[in-house]
Amino acid sequence: MDTVSLAKRRYTTKAYDASRRIPQATVDALLEQLRHSPSSVNSQPWHFIVADTAEGKALLAKSTAEGYAYNTQKLLDASHVIVFCTRTEMTEEHLNAVLDQEAADGRFRDEQARAGQNQSRRHYVNLHRFDQKDVQHWMEKQTYLALGTALLGAAAHGLDATPIEGFDSKVLDAELGLRERGFTSVVILSLGYRSEADFNAGLNKSRLPASQVFTFL
């Protein structure tokens, strides 16, 4: 797979063809790729909410009504919309669940390896929780790693996509009952197929030259 071509081809879609739906097999493959996103010490501090019905997308669009109306149609017309949520706390329950899943998946040769992984992960959690005091920001950074995985995955499947930060997270959290579940919304991803009205599709991609963004030692 030519990932450079994928990176050059993908762009932020501004308008979707509401009549086109992503095949379910493609959605399933993308979500499985998303589930396997990397995260620091395999902390996986995320949850993803997928809307593929008119009712579900309209519910999400409520978060754009005040101040972000320019994003409303990107949610309503897309085939699928994913809300990327981050934990509001790194709980004992979650840490134990991750460790148990690693054990079930055969990650540990013995109990010593299991204990070492547990100690290492907790070290980094406590580093951000107590010393750097940025555990929420740290968890959100892991969620953005997942967003990057989804964007490249969407391009690989020939899908158009729009990462959206222009929404009211307080409204969306309330509509979805996220905070009661220990999560908060951080970014939304619209997925589907662009419409002919998408002006951005015909514009050249622009990035700073390699000479300015790379330093070689």
Residue 101 counted as domain residue = no
pLDDT at residue 1, as a whole number: 74
Query: Using CA atoms, how far apart are residues 189 and 109, in angstroms rounded to an integer?
Result: 38
Residue 120 counted as domain residue = no
Residue 97 counted as domain residue = no
Q: What is the DSSP string of 92-131?
A: HHHHHHHHHHHHHTT--SSHHHHHHHHHHHHHHHHIIIII
What distance separates the 2 farthest-apart alpha carbons in the chain?
59
pTM above 0.95, yes or no: yes
In order of 47, 172, 187, the CA distances from 144 in angstroms are 12, 18, 8
Residue 196 counted as domain residue = yes
For residues 19 and 56, the answer to whether their CB atoms sit within 8 Å is no
Query: Using CA atoms, how far apart are residues 197 and 213, in angstroms rounded to an integer?
Result: 33
Residue 131 counted as domain residue = no
Walk along the chain (217 residues) and give the pLDDT tens digit of each residue. 799 999 999 999 999 999 999 999 999 999 999 999 999 999 999 999 999 999 999 999 999 999 999 999 999 999 999 999 999 999 999 999 999 999 999 999 999 999 999 999 999 999 999 999 999 999 999 999 999 999 999 999 999 999 999 999 999 999 999 999 999 999 999 999 999 999 999 999 999 999 999 999 9
| Residues assigned a catalytic role | 14, 74, 165
Contacts of 141 (CB under 8 A, 6+ apart): 40
Which CATH number do you get for residue 52?
Answer: 3.40.109.10
**Secondary structure of 40-91 as H, E, C letters:** HHHCCCEEEEEECCHHHHHHHHHHHCCCCHHHHHHHHCCCEEEEEEEECCCC
By residue range, what is the domain housing residue 85? 3-90+136-212
**Beta-bridge partner residues of 194:** 16
Residue 108 counted as domain residue = no
Residue 122 counted as domain residue = no
pLDDT at residue 92, as a whole number: 98
**Number of domains within the chain:** 1
Residue 142 counted as domain residue = yes
Q: Which helix (H) or strand (E) holds 4?
A: helix 3-9
